[in-house]
Amino acid sequence: MRTTITIRDDVLKRARQLALARSCTLSDLVEESLQRTLAAPTAALPLEQAGIPTFAGRGLQPGVDLDSTASLLDLMEDR
């Protein structure tokens, strides 16, 4: 398939030199490079630690069910 892409001049010059050194076409070099890049496993990006503020307290209070949004709302409204 024919397509058009924009490549920086310095990168294109180096790619042409490499293609010439490998005795292949620029198209072959670009396709091979894309295939290798697409086949490589993607590394998971490191997750940033969330800055969760904490406050001094007495911990989880009796009767608080963190799995029930409705009961949490009830407790918060009563206070």
Q: What was the pLDDT predicted at 64?
A: 80
Q: Where are the alpha helices (DSSP H) in the chain?
A: 9-21, 26-39, 69-78
| Number of alpha carbons in the 13 Å side-chain half-sphere of residue 33 | 10
Per-residue pLDDT of the chain (79 residues; tens, 9 = 90+): 888 999 999 999 999 999 999 999 999 999 999 999 888 877 766 666 667 777 777 777 777 888 888 888 887 887 5
Label residue 46 left, alpha or beta by phi (over 0 means left) and psi (-120 to 50 means alpha).
beta
Q: What was the pLDDT predicted at 8?
A: 94
| Number of alpha carbons in the 13 Å side-chain half-sphere of residue 76 | 8
| Number of alpha carbons in the 13 Å side-chain half-sphere of residue 1 | 4
The position carrying tokens 């892409």 is 5
pTM, 2 dp = 0.51
